[in-house]
Amino acid sequence: MNFSVAFLVIMYLIEGAHSLVEFTNFQCESLDRNFCGFEYCHIKSVNRTYKYISLKVNLYKTPVSSVKVNAAIYKRLSGYKPFLYNVTVDGCKFIKNQNSYPIFKFIFSVFKDASNMNHSCPYDHDILLEKLSTEKFNHYVTKILPFPEGVYMVKMNWIAYGINRAIVRLYLTIT
């Protein structure tokens, strides 16, 4: 009897340990080419199990002192449907007081260590996101706030001075 209980517990732990995030697509679109442009925006596959995303946004009109970000998560169910979160925050205020927006703090915490966006406004330099790995995503969406298996899109609209300037879409699968 103890063997069967131990076996079931081990099988449960093994099953939970195999949650896996895989990046499937990464798209960046500049809506105002006079304001910003993407130098690169790609998924890099190092091997079968290790992938990361990187992007570089060139800002042509600096300094940028008014930024809003709309971040939304969509799940594919006969097309992409809103799932859980769709938040818009003032990026400059958020960086100064991240505890005021707990949902966006969760979304930002996935990206912040791989990015140079971790200081307050104004931004007078290009924006970088370098080598954000699937391991980091896997930790956040399976351990900290578990998401059900499925196909997802994280869509971020970057708004400067009240005008939507860029859209970034990350497509991923959780198995």
- Residue 54's DSSP bridge partners are 42
130-154 pLDDT, tens digit per residue, is 999 988 888 888 788 888 899 999 9
The pLDDT assigned to 156 comes to 95
8-24: pLDDT as tens digits:
455 454 444 456 889 99
Q: Fill in the amino acid letter for 43.
A: I
DSSP letter string, 34-46: TTEEEEEEEEEES
- Tokens 């080598």 belong to which residue? 131
Residue appearing with tokens 């005008």: 163
Cβ 100 vs Cβ 87: under 8 Å: no
User: How many CB atoms within 10 Å of residue 58?
Assistant: 14
Beta bridge partner(s), residue 45: 51
Sign of CA dihedral 87, 88, 91, 93: negative
| Strand, helix or coil for residue 39 | strand
Domains (range + CATH), the chain: 18-174 (2.70.220.10)
Residues with Cβ within 8 Å of residue 7, at least 6 apart in sequence? none
pLDDT at residue 102 in the model? 85
User: What mean pLDDT is predicted for residues 37-45?
Assistant: 96
Question: What's the CA angle centered on 99, arms 27 and 84, to 5 degrees?
Answer: 50
Specify whether the CB–CB gap between 170 and 53 falls below 8 A. Answer: yes
pLDDT at 16: 46
